[in-house]
Structure 1
Amino acid sequence: MRSRVLCGLGAAVALLAAGCGSSASSGGSAAPAGSSAAAGAAYPVTVADCAGNGTTFTSAPKKIVTSNAASLEMLFWLGAGDKVIGTGFPPGAGTMPAQFAAQAAKVPVLGQTVIPKEKLLGSGADLYVDTFASMGSMGGALGSAPTEQEFAAAGIKHVYLHSTACAKTLKGPMQDLSPVEGDIRTLGAVTGTGAKADQLVAGMEQKVGAVRKDLAGLAPAQEPSYFFFDYDAGTKQPMAECDKQVANAVITLAGARNVYGDCDGDFKPVSWEDVVAKDPDWIQLGVRNRGSDAATRQAFDQAEQFLKTFPATAGLKAVQQGHFVRIGSEVTTIAGVRNADTVQQIAHVIHPDLVKDGQ
């Protein structure tokens, strides 16, 4: 395997499971233009890393390890979940789509967070799907990642989800889901499930296309301002979802203006004073699934109650008007098939007269 120049990871540790962002408008594809992966052709398939270096597959991998639940879920959607022999950052209870929950629960957990280097290299995998970028940028707190030479020596091919791993190498904001769709197509090409990948992407494009059609007459000045409040990242200091995060694309496609869409990067710690100055029209209560509808609903209630009682936010326009969006963090900030559903759901909540379908 050719050596790579890894792109950095700017997300905070508390938000690792959500990854970093990418850019649709900057040419952020999952494989070089004209490559076999981009075209969905048969083997050999060549996939690029963040720096454009290629990894070639002459056949489908037989044993796959995923870095977290995002890439794991993509493989389930593609029908390649039976090839997965382990994962890091395992999905929490209730976070996987119902049809994959039982299968996901059987996947061996190689690390509750980042998979330890020795365990990853000794896993027996022939492919590691990496949702993140180099763990070296995390300051070593979560352990060091294998080098590309170490991956090669262990017989493991290493590919990235571009929609979450390549923010630092791309230019321009992420305003649509093409990077996510590119990742789905690339994994489809690598695992020999290209037809299913095309089907999944077509479904996503149909849902988003319907929303965009409904919002076609909406002028930019009519788009409400929108703040994603990551309640689970902590309330002491809010975390902004910037222009290269998947959430920025989801919010934009839903007909809203991310109040931190001018922040260059993926995530950024901000101050409550700054949030107050932006005074958003709508606030999404960013809550992770708690494993049951009742527990998740309680977490949403707690997030809303915090904003209503915290002196700095009690007077915000969205709080005063009760403009809260109760849609989970995972389907908003983590790249996946369900991002298209989230676009539809957010648009239905904030533009109910224009977008009738919120399924």
Structure 2
Amino acid sequence: MRPRVLCGVLAAVALSVTACGGGGDDGAGDTADGTRPGFPVTVSDCEGKKTTFHRPPEKIVTSNASGLEMLFWLGVGDKVVGTGFPPGEGTLPARFADRAEEVPVLGRTVIAKERLLGSGADLYVDAFSSMKNMGGAAEGPRAEEFQAAGIKHVYLRSTACAGRSTGKREDLSGVEEDITELGRLTGTSERAAELVSGMRKKTGAVRSAIAGVPASERPTYFFFDYDAGTKQPLAVCGRQVANAVITMAGARNVFAGCDGDFKPVGWEDVVAANPDWIQLGVRNRGSERANEEAFDEAADFLRGHPATKGLTAVREGRLLRIGSERTTIGGVRSADTVREIAHALYPDRVKR
């Protein structure tokens, strides 16, 4: 399986700070013991291990474009000194594109351990953790190696901890918690609150618009991860953030009942589910034209495959062209994906 390129997110509220905002950190206002006002801040990882910050980080490395974009939305993009899985051209909102190009790429996929430890960072924002399909991402530096390098290691738990969570994800609360937590540890809590409020406004409007549609009458939905391979489809399960996006948009994920976040299934399972809608989950190719060609390829595959050409969604052309990253990786723009899917399913109820 090719590495899952990750990407992030769009808010309803206008930016009150720029992508390069956040200001300097000259130590003004520190207490006698070096603690910044509003600190200490303590966060925990997927297993409950705690990390405490006494002041905002100065140099941040992100594992991929999702963490990178969250930091841009929070206004601390100037603190980022490196990333793995860099965003492709056109992946991030236009307002962040120029700054994103300036961020050093420490790894086209997973950052090599030696390069991460030698980056000079004091914070590593990790979206992978136990995600075994990330090309060995779980085999990064050990805790003692991070400590020796002076790097504090935190996770985007909505993604990294998905495989260890319990129950289905049916809302974006986990993503909102990631944004809130990053806001706390970077000293941008007020901005984080604005972003979360904007997300809730969008998803709340969708919820109100489709409130009259009984759960049993909501259309069934299959997220087709075209880039994960076509020989055997990879299902989005109930613990994956995409299940929350699909559910909030008023659809029923046909594989919501499978255990974990992702799970290989058979085409016979997709045929048995016969979804009303299929999302063509294509990863960003770097340009609108290249993306459209990839969507065409995914649609042509479904129309030509003996097992799928007779599916209701395929026969009736109910194939949504919405990128993988925006659906399977949590961020501010997850709320926009909810609204986009809902508009396709309920055009008379949910407007663009």
TM-score, length-normalised on structure 2?
0.88
What is aligned with 2:128?
132
Matches of 1:140 and 1:350 in 2, distance apart? 35
Matches of 1:79 and 1:62 in 2, distance apart? 13
Contact 1:114 1:143 (8 Å CA) reproduced: no
**Structure 1 range deviating more: 262-271 or 165-174:** 165-174
> Is 1:272–2:267 an aligned residue pair?
yes
> Is 1:73–2:78 an aligned residue pair?
no
Percentage of pairs with the same residue: 63
Q: Alignment partner of 1:17: what SS?
A: coil
- Please point out which of 172, 190, 193 is paired with 2:167: 172
Deviation at 1:316, TM superposition (A): 0.2
Q: For 1:280-314, what per-residue CA distance to the aligned partner results, in whole angstroms no more than 9, with x for missing partners? A: 00000111222222221221112111111111100
What is aligned with 1:91?
87
> Is 1:335–2:323 an aligned residue pair?
no
Contact 1:252 1:258 (8 Å CA) reproduced: yes
> Is 1:353–2:341 an aligned residue pair?
no
Matches of 2:347 and 2:133 in 1, distance apart? 42
Matches of 1:288 and 1:169 in 2, distance apart? 25
Contact 1:116 1:143 (8 Å CA) reproduced: no
Q: Alignment partner of 1:14: what SS?
A: coil
- Please point out which of 189, 197, 210 is paired with 2:192: 197
Which structure 1 residue ranges, 5 or more long, are not aligned? 1-12, 20-40
Deviation at 1:140, TM superposition (A): 8.0
Equivalent residue letter for 1:17? V
Deviation at 1:134, TM superposition (A): 4.3
What is aligned with 1:247?
242
Equivalent residue letter for 2:226? Y
Q: Alignment partner of 1:146: what SS?
A: coil
Contact 2:129 2:138 (8 Å CA) reproduced: no
Distance 1:318 1:143, change over 3 A: closer
- Please point out which of 91, 97, 103 is paired with 1:101: 97
| Alignment RMSD | 1.7
Equivalent residue letter for 1:204? M
Q: Alignment partner of 1:201: what SS?
A: helix
Deviation at 1:69, TM superposition (A): 0.8
Deviation at 1:163, TM superposition (A): 0.1
Contact 1:43 1:57 (8 Å CA) reproduced: yes
Equivalent residue letter for 1:267? F
**Structure 1 range deviating more: 63-72 or 230-239:** 230-239
- Please point out which of 78, 81, 97 is paired with 1:82: 78
TM-score, length-normalised on structure 1?
0.87
Distance 1:15 1:213, change over 3 A: farther
Matches of 1:234 and 1:138 in 2, distance apart? 13
